[in-house]
Amino acid sequence: MAIGQFGSALEEVLKRKGETRGAAGAAAHVDASLIGKVIKGTRKPSNEVMASTVKHYDDGQLYIAAAGEVTGGAFAPWLNNVDLHRASVLIKSIEEIKEVLAASGQAPISKTNEQIDESERQQIKRLLMETVEAITALTHLAAVLCKEYSFSWLATWKEHRSTLKAKKYMK
């Protein structure tokens, strides 16, 4: 993960909201110069700074960048060179879901790892990669819908977790 992804996401959020680095610093309980270093990518944001700013701004892009930072890149990256209009993101998400379905019809997932040959392993790898691409598209769709229609990213995920707990899918 490139240093500064959280910083660039924070900079975009500040521009969208018309806020200053000082305001972000106040939200994170640090000074504006530290926020400037995070934005420039010369200083890695602490978990506390990320937690404070994502909670304060409640922005999907910022949450995604923080998750990527904390996991070392093991999360859907924010796509900053694509059309993020809600209709475009929806169309791309549907396309990616269709690709997962197509790959799932070819992957021998009824077999265990010990039962597959290299060709079958590659089919499973294709399914995995298509799944990750769909997750990325759907994550962006959720972020775009939250932003476009003023839904809280955090409240959306809290509601989802509550539903999962009610269904006893998690404790």
pLDDT tens digits, one per residue of 126-147: 999 999 999 999 999 999 999 9
Asked if residue 40 is part of any domain, the answer here is yes
Tokens of 66: 């923080």
Q: Are 107 and 162 in contact (CB under 8 A)?
A: no
Asked if residue 117 is part of any domain, the answer here is yes
Do 50 and 115 share a domain, yes or no? no
Do 125 and 59 share a domain, yes or no? no
pLDDT band at 1 (very low <50, low <70, confident <90, very high): very low
Do 90 and 160 share a domain, yes or no? yes
pLDDT at 4: 65
pTM of the predicted protein model = 0.91
Do 41 and 95 share a domain, yes or no? no
Do 61 and 106 share a domain, yes or no? no
Asked if residue 93 is part of any domain, the answer here is yes
Asked if residue 79 is part of any domain, the answer here is no
In whole angstroms, how far apart are CA 21 and each of 31, 49, 52, 119, 122?
8, 13, 14, 52, 47
Please give the average per-residue pLDDT across 58-62, as a whole number. Answer: 96
Number of domains into which the chain is organized: 2
Q: Using CA atoms, how far apart are residues 135 and 143, in angstroms rounded to an integer? A: 12
Do 140 and 104 share a domain, yes or no? yes
Q: Percent of the chain at pLDDT above 90?
A: 96
CATH number of the domain bearing residue 64: 1.10.260.40
- Predicted confidence (pLDDT) at residue 86 exceeds the cutoff of 70: yes
Asked if residue 171 is part of any domain, the answer here is no
Domain that holds residue 34: 5-70
| Residue linked to tokens 């790892």 | 113
CA atoms 98, 100, 105, 110: torsion sign: negative
